[in-house]
Amino acid sequence: MGCTKETKQKIDGILEAFSGYLEKQSRFEIRYTEETGYTRCAANKPEEPPVRIDTPDKLVETLIGGIADDVLAQKLSAPLPEDGVVKLEIKAEIYRQIMEPVKKIAEDRAHYVDLAINYYQDRFERK
């Protein structure tokens, strides 16, 4: 089953805010169908099952997680160390890049800014 008209409207607004990022990256697509709603589909990995995105929060977390992964891949010459320690300048770049589109979300912006801050802190600062 798809999503409600209200949820679709919110998700479409989020996709618009992240359109610059979505156009540049090539690892996944966000697709919509009436039957299933929104899904994240891996672009070059047909064996990877699609992930259903049923809430605006899940979409934002998916997109900022993608941004963080992209920055890490660009800035690190090797996989992240086991201790998960990321240099301060890389963390600052991740924070800047995830907040840029989040601040463009028109509806419920403060909620999504808080969600992005919590995501960032959980992933990069809280151990």
How far is the C-alpha of 90 from the C-alpha of 14, rounded, in Å?
A: 25
- pLDDT by residue (tens digit) across 5-59? 899 999 999 999 999 999 999 889 999 988 888 999 998 877 889 999 989 999 9
Asked whether residue 3 carries a pLDDT value surpassing 60, the answer given is: yes
Strands 51-53 and 28-33 turn out to be unpaired
pLDDT band at 82; cut points 50, 70, 90: low
φ/ψ of 33, rounded to 5, equals -135, 150
Single pTM value for the model: 0.89
DSSP secondary structure of 5-64: HHHHHHHHHHHHHTHHHHHH--SEEEEEETTTEEEEEESS-TTSPPEEE-SHHHHHHHHH
Helices 88-102 and 109-124: crossing angle, nearest 10°?
Answer: 160
